[in-house]
Structure 1
Amino acid sequence: MVSFSSDTLDQLRNDLKSNCSRLPDGFLDFMKNLMYQSELQNKFSKPMVWIGIYIAIASLFCILPMLADLLHGLKHKKLWFPCKYFTLNAASLTAIAVAMKLPLDLNNSMPCTVDQAAKVGSMAFMCTMMANLLPSLATMESKELLINIIALAVQVITLVVNVCIQMKTGVVSNNHDAEYYGILSSNSWIIAFIYVSMLLMLLMIHTCSALLILKSKQILESKYKACHERALKDLEFQQPTVEMLKQHVSNHWIMAGTGNPQFVTVCFATTSASGVICVSSTVLHVIIMLFTRPYMKYHGSDYKWSALAILITQFTGSLLGTVAPLSRCFASLSFKVSIKRIWSHIRVFKVESYCTQELSDWKQSSIPFKFSSRGCMIVIQDLKVLILNLCVGFRKMVVVACKMTALIPIFFVIGILCCFHCWKWLKVRFDASYKVSVKTRAQTQHNRDLSQYVLQLQDDMELAERTLTSISKSVTCLIQSAEKQQPNNLRKLLEESSGFEGVGKYDLHQVREEKYVDCWSLPIVTLTTIAVALPNIQKNMFDRLIRSVREGLTYVIHVEDTLNASEEYVTSQKAARALWLEVDVYHKWLGNKLRNPAHQVNTTKEIVQWFSDTAKNMITGVESKNKKGSDDSSVYISVSANSMYRITQTILVSHHTNIDQVSQEELFVQLSSMISHILAACLTNLPRVIAMKCHTSVIEKREESVHVAAQLLGETMQIINRLQNRELPNLNPDELPFIDKWRGCFLHNFP
């Protein structure tokens, strides 16, 4: 369809009016129809500028997560840049599909250099994104991995087919005058062909990597179980010291770090090959931009100036996105032990057994479909074996090609390592001291102790000592950083009292109702509520208690989620957390304002009695309501009111007729003491919680879980040391996580 600009159409109209008598019959109608069609085309193409802006924004949404992964890797000194934000999922695939609108566009003409550069530049941007997405495949389960690989394959194949069609029809290369439109307009089909080849190679790499990941996870899981059992033998669950916990966390940190599927994926030859392809595509993109620069003011497509916005945005994304794949390419080689062993680990013409083990297992598996004819089953089985044999051969070919591609950066790595070893030799020879050598020997011995917890796919592989040192230092730095975040208010509250007797004082058996199972956090919040409601308490004491309980509940929740996660405790835990939100933020208890719960209620007895009566009325109201059907709010009120009624009745019963003589300051001190004892009893379980958080059955979440354990250990180190000096009650280790067991042990002291 021929399209004219508005000025051209106006000029044509004027010429037709002045010369209509000289034109042949029918020509005037033809020109009017042509102008009408051109006006429609101009009208239809007006939204294309906004579509171009939409493409640029979608590209930006792809760039930002890649940049976030880059910053995350630099912050945590993981120069293999794990995929945390930019991962292969439905959202990222949707954004990528929008960003690839230009090369998918079959109809719109792209005559100028900027237009052609934007179209082929989108394919370079796609190569960069695929290289960045590769490690994220390791974070998926088998079913999710299969779905996402299929979705990516459909998208890439569609893109390749559309570009090939445009190469045939001439949309990619319009062969315009190079002096005006630039040399790129007449040669863009060659560049497009190169990018199509790169995309297909990256797709094959992703497919092979997906199958490698499935088998590597099985190998790593079996080795992790053996190392985990070895680490458990070194830890005594009765009373592990802080040093033992540090060692336990370090052991699991090494297992989680080296057994991280993304870390292992970086060591694949496919990752190195994808990095080389990504760098090549970006270099070609830079060359394209150099040729495009003199012609950036020209644009002839319907996208107009938005084509330039797309070009600049995606070029920026290609440059930023190349850093991670390039770094992974070098990191995969630097993880090896030495220069001598780099070549042996590359082994160009040798394909490791785990690379094809998954397909070999499929060959030996039975067909999931049943056929009545035995001949059909034989034919299907033979066909399956034939296809899988072809797949095995194809995969071997891809792996060998990737290993050959990985030889390109190896020369740079060897040069860098040679310089490093020369510098190290000179430093040791001319600047070495006894202290440095002792430190080096100590670090080497420490690495030997940790090396038994390194997980590798092959037994003959060995992690470089500098990599092991880096991983070991990272957990040490994390624990030291967490030590600076000690909960000082909680620590001071625990130091104000000794022992655990308060666990048996807060709720006496004479008034106890077994309707709900008690948890650690519920009595802490209830006791704090009563303390907050005392109006004559100084504000600084009130604020300090609130801060202490706020810090303490953070660790109580860790204990409950780890050791009291059964269904019977969940109801009380949810009620306690909702109640604490109300008390801490709004200074209310079940909708009633604290500090002055009712008018003319000022004495200690009146305040405690008001809480008791109000709680009893709420329990009665909830029970009558439950006859018609209960809901979450009624359960929350019932649990909170039951806890308040039991505790206030205990206070009234324990003081008998002397409650009137107890001042608010005295009651506040008693409540604070009970809160301190309950917190102390609960936090004696922290060593067990830390040890349990080091281990999780989900391989993808293992590193995050150990990170939480290390952070928890650093923050509570002083608390653990102080609580270990207190004498524990006569309870079995399996009974220590439950407040009811503690309470029952102390009840005989408070008849």
Structure 2
Amino acid sequence: MSTYTIQDIQKKLDEPMPLIGLYIAAASAVCTLAMTADVINGFRQKRLWFPSKYFSLSATSLTLLTVAMKLPMDFNTNLLGITDWFAKLNSLIFMSTAMGNFISSLGSMNDKEILSNVVALGILVITIVVNVWIQLIQLHHVIGLEYVTQFLVPTILMLLLLVTLVSLAITVPTTKRNMESKYQELHKLALREEEAVKRTIDKHMIMKYWVMAETSNPQFVIGRSVVCTSSALICLTAAIVLLIPYSLWFLANQRVTLEHPRSVYGNFTLWILAIQCIGVVVGTIAPTFRSFVAISFRCSTSRGKNNKSSLKDKLFKTETYWVQILVNWRDNFSSLQIQQDKCRKYLYSAKWLVLNFFIGVQILIVVVSKLLLYVFVLLTYPFAHITNKFKVQYSSNIVTSSDETELDLSRYVLLLEGEPELPKRILKNFCRQSDNMILIGKRKQPQNLIDLLCKFVNFSGVIQFDSTNEVPSLHSQEPSNCWTLPLLTLTSIAIALPHVAEHKRKQLVSSVNEGLSLAKLIEKTLDTNDQLVNIRKSADVCWVGVALYRKWQDVDLRTTSHKCKNSKDVLQELSSKAETSVIEFKREVKDDFLMENPLNWPVKIIAANSMYRVGRTILLAYKGENEPTDEELFERLSIMIADILAACLTNLARVITTMCHRNAIEKRERSVCEAFILLGKTEQVLELLQQRDWPSLDTDKAAYIEEWRSLFHQDNQSPAVSTSTSGPDDAMETSMSNADRITVTVDC
């Protein structure tokens, strides 16, 4: 029987350690790449407060950091190894850098997420600090005071960063509510201005919402705050702390009394060291630039002696939002669910003392942060003054039209109590960003849809696709129509017609595909009650088969086109199969009272009912003497599709403005960005619709196709399908009005 020594057992235990080192290096690399992506994204969008998009405080990032922090929390690692020594020290600075990058992401969380994530981060930081301090206590006699200090300072900086992060987390809910209330007031002002120019959309109208969304963006509010500046200075200090021992080792070439045993993680310790060094360098960029943003705010509003009289008030005054939540907790007596008055009295007094202490700490953090920021403003003011003077002289030689815009937009800037006014260069940057987003949209213009809309003359196709009076219903209640369902049905019929060139079929499918993406957005945005969710879903489900496989449900449209002799046969086959599906379904669910409501029908049955009605309506055209040819009917269906799409797209202006203000404060910036892109994307579509007259229909009713049909029925318009290829009847023009014409202006 073989015997193992302690060294043999230890060697066996150390064998998997290099793989664990690889795991640590991989986790560190993911964190570094995420911080790098945020830095690149900030520079690309010229947002020097660097919003956290890829590396934010979340369960995923905390798990990765826990893995990356394996070295400083490992008691078994030989601390006397020079590589392990630097790797452990570097890991602590890496953690501090990660915390500095986390801070702005607090703005994108709700209250529960902030609480859970900050508590989890606090547990991780305290665990690391305690582990490091235990190791230092055990080895301080061996390694000496100099090396103990090198580890002690980073842990203290980590705790300071945790304190500043908690300080900001306490203020986030209050600042969000303040910003939201100010936003709603300005939104009312903007709505009053929009009522004067009904159904009009241009870049400057959206710019109001863009400025409001950007300046109230919680991440930007945190990034320009004084406490965030303090955290940035701590991160910068941590990077300098890391630089000192490296300088002593590599540059000064001083002798270190440490031994050089081999690391248990093998060569992967060097990988961890290199990757986390890169992470520290890259991760310091965002916090440093955030401090420059806060400094530039103060420098841009400094005017020398005029500010000295109120300087004391500015430095030592703590705005309400910094301590509002703590004050609410302190004054909330009803939260103590204890019956005995004596115990309640003692607990309330204890709570009062504890929260008063935390309020004092919060005030101290804010005041110290303001003092630090003021010192840096004094140091950088001469340089900033010279730079601003150069910029003014340079910009005076360039003729721009942005001054008038800035004056109009400055009243839509949202600021917290005590914040200085927004620098003009940031307002100009907002304008440049809006131009870039519109250009992005212009590159995505739906050219196939535009070609199809050129066939549009008036909106007669809205009523002609379904003859309500002449086609018998298969059910006591008819499902309501949405915009996308008749588009799907008409397109399915059109591409199934025989003797039609294949390139025309492909062109129609491409055009409708582009139009459906806009129609779906309109329905999703304006159908606030979600009454037509199941109807819209039926169109989505069936369109996949039509667009990709040329199949309407189980019917192969290509086979139908080749098998049938003419269009009449195609219509009869499709409508008959659809009718059979609906009748069989009704027979199966005869005793199910839920199915009495067509909105509860399966999506395929809703689509089948639409095919039955549309197919039967088009067959009415064959009652006359002059039956249309296949090409003529295809052209007529294309015109009907164009009419329906045009009617649907008249809601684009309302959708764009709705996108600007409907979402929550954390998502509003992205929504306004999408509105700018949509404005650029649909510029030609809006200009094309501007050339036509619109019906006198209320904007709320214009979002629904059934309201359009009701209006045309009231005007006694004929639902018969025209067999002429020259276009729809001119009789529809009697219901049109110039009063609601759209105007679109896109300046770049």
Pair in the same fold by TM > 0.5: yes
Deviations along 1:535-561, one digit per CA (max 9) or x if unpaired, are: 321222222211211111111011100
Secondary structure of 2:560's counterpart equals: coil
Cα distance between partner residues in 2 of 1:194 and 1:370: 43
1:525 aligned residue (483, 488, 500): 488
Partner of 2:566: 603
Partner of 2:364: 397
Matched, 1:234 2:234: no
Counterpart mapping for 1:587-602 below 5 A: 587-597=550-560, 600-602=563-565
**Residue 354 of structure 1, CA deviation:** 2.0
Partner of 2:718: 750
Identity %, equivalent residues? 35
Deviations along 1:344-366, one digit per CA (max 9) or x if unpaired, are: 78944332232112212222222
2:287 aligned residue (325, 329, 354): 325
Q: Which moved more, 1:419-428 or 1:375-384?
A: 419-428
Partner of 2:45: 76
Give the partner amino acid of 2:163.
Answer: M
Matched, 1:546 2:509: yes
Give the partner amino acid of 2:658.
Answer: M
Deviations along 1:639-672, one digit per CA (max 9) or x if unpaired, are: 111111110010112432558x321101101110
Q: Is the 8 A contact 1:72 1:81 kept in 2?
A: yes
Label 1:396 to 1:536 Cα distance change in 2 as closer, same or farther (>3 A): same
Give the partner amino acid of 1:113.
Answer: I
Deviations along 1:658-697, one digit per CA (max 9) or x if unpaired, are: 58x3211011011101100000000011111111111025
Give the partner amino acid of 1:267.
Answer: R
Q: Is the 8 A contact 1:618 1:638 kept in 2?
A: yes
Label 1:558 to 1:152 Cα distance change in 2 as closer, same or farther (>3 A): same
Q: Give the TM-score normalised by structure 2.
A: 0.88
Q: Is the 8 A contact 1:216 1:457 kept in 2?
A: yes
Partner of 1:89: 58
Cα distance between partner residues in 1 of 2:491 and 2:249: 70
Deviations along 1:257-310, one digit per CA (max 9) or x if unpaired, are: 000000010111111111111112122223333445589995523112221111
Partner of 2:345: 378
Partner of 2:733: none
Partner of 2:547: 584
Counterpart mapping for 1:554-569 below 5 A: 554-569=517-532
Cα distance between partner residues in 1 of 2:537 and 2:135: 60
Q: Is the 8 A contact 1:529 1:583 kept in 2?
A: yes
Partner of 1:10: none
Cα distance between partner residues in 1 of 2:419 and 2:266: 59
Label 1:412 to 1:584 Cα distance change in 2 as closer, same or farther (>3 A): farther
Label 1:620 to 1:730 Cα distance change in 2 as closer, same or farther (>3 A): same
Label 1:318 to 1:37 Cα distance change in 2 as closer, same or farther (>3 A): same
Q: Is the 8 A contact 2:100 2:232 kept in 1?
A: yes
**Residue 634 of structure 1, CA deviation:** 7.6
Partner of 1:570: 533
Give the partner amino acid of 1:603.
Answer: N
Q: Is the 8 A contact 2:71 2:77 kept in 1?
A: no
Secondary structure of 2:417's counterpart equals: coil
Partner of 1:131: 100
1:458 aligned residue (417, 424, 427): 417
Q: Which moved more, 1:629-638 or 1:674-683?
A: 629-638
**Residue 238 of structure 1, CA deviation:** 7.4
Counterpart mapping for 1:461-472 below 5 A: 461-472=420-431
Partner of 2:728: none
Gaps of 5+ in 2: 720-748
Partner of 2:213: 256
Q: Is the 8 A contact 1:118 1:307 kept in 2?
A: yes
**Residue 324 of structure 1, CA deviation:** 0.8
Q: Is the 8 A contact 2:82 2:259 kept in 1?
A: no
Q: Is the 8 A contact 1:694 1:706 kept in 2?
A: yes
Label 1:502 to 1:87 Cα distance change in 2 as closer, same or farther (>3 A): same
Structure with bigger gyration radius: 1
Cα distance between partner residues in 2 of 1:424 and 1:77: 17
**Residue 231 of structure 1, CA deviation:** 0.6
Deviations along 1:296-329, one digit per CA (max 9) or x if unpaired, are: 9955231122211111111111111111111111
Label 1:370 to 1:422 Cα distance change in 2 as closer, same or farther (>3 A): closer
Q: Is the 8 A contact 2:230 2:372 kept in 1?
A: yes
1:197 aligned residue (156, 161, 179): 156
Partner of 1:281: 238
Q: Is the 8 A contact 1:115 1:307 kept in 2?
A: yes
Count, aligned residues: 698
Q: Give the TM-score normalised by structure 1.
A: 0.88
Q: Is the 8 A contact 1:536 1:664 kept in 2?
A: yes
Cα distance between partner residues in 2 of 1:345 and 1:613: 83
Label 1:297 to 1:53 Cα distance change in 2 as closer, same or farther (>3 A): farther
Cα distance between partner residues in 2 of 1:324 and 1:680: 47
Matched, 1:218 2:184: no
Label 1:75 to 1:564 Cα distance change in 2 as closer, same or farther (>3 A): same
Give the partner amino acid of 2:71.
Answer: L
Q: Which moved more, 1:155-164 or 1:300-309?
A: 300-309
2:702 aligned residue (736, 740, 751): 736
Give the partner amino acid of 2:573.
Answer: W
1:617 aligned residue (561, 574, 580): 580
Give the partner amino acid of 1:553.
Answer: L
2:297 aligned residue (323, 330, 335): 335
Partner of 1:364: 331
Cα distance between partner residues in 2 of 1:202 and 1:398: 11
* Higher helix residue share: 1
Q: Is the 8 A contact 2:319 2:418 kept in 1?
A: no
Q: Is the 8 A contact 2:49 2:224 kept in 1?
A: no
Cα distance between partner residues in 2 of 1:594 and 1:57: 52
Cα distance between partner residues in 1 of 2:148 and 2:404: 59
Give the partner amino acid of 1:42.
Answer: K
Cα distance between partner residues in 2 of 1:412 and 1:553: 58
**Residue 199 of structure 1, CA deviation:** 0.3
Task: Quote the RMSD (CA, aligned, Å).
Answer: 2.6
Give the partner amino acid of 1:352.
Answer: E
Deviations along 1:40-71, one digit per CA (max 9) or x if unpaired, are: 01101111111111101111111121111112
Cα distance between partner residues in 2 of 1:616 and 1:292: 85
Gaps of 5+ in 1: 1-31, 176-184
Cα distance between partner residues in 2 of 1:460 and 1:700: 20
Secondary structure of 1:370's counterpart equals: coil
Give the partner amino acid of 1:320.
Answer: V
Partner of 2:128: 159
Partner of 2:81: 112
Label 1:622 to 1:412 Cα distance change in 2 as closer, same or farther (>3 A): farther
Secondary structure of 1:537's counterpart equals: coil
Cα distance between partner residues in 1 of 2:201 and 2:337: 59
Q: Is the 8 A contact 1:173 1:188 kept in 2?
A: no
Label 1:598 to 1:538 Cα distance change in 2 as closer, same or farther (>3 A): closer
Cα distance between partner residues in 1 of 2:345 and 2:288: 48
Cα distance between partner residues in 2 of 1:299 and 1:455: 59
Counterpart mapping for 1:357-506 below 5 A: 357-407=324-374, 409-411=376-378, 413-424=380-391, 427=394, 436=398, 439=400, 442-458=401-417, 461-506=420-465
Secondary structure of 1:242's counterpart equals: strand
Q: Which moved more, 1:609-618 or 1:357-366?
A: 357-366
Cα distance between partner residues in 1 of 2:44 and 2:133: 42
Label 1:411 to 1:591 Cα distance change in 2 as closer, same or farther (>3 A): farther
Give the partner amino acid of 2:704.
Answer: F
Cα distance between partner residues in 2 of 1:173 and 1:689: 71
Label 1:191 to 1:303 Cα distance change in 2 as closer, same or farther (>3 A): same
Q: Is the 8 A contact 2:659 2:675 kept in 1?
A: yes
Give the partner amino acid of 2:277.
Answer: F
Q: Is the 8 A contact 2:534 2:600 kept in 1?
A: no
**Residue 722 of structure 1, CA deviation:** 2.6
Cα distance between partner residues in 2 of 1:174 and 1:527: 85
Secondary structure of 1:567's counterpart equals: coil
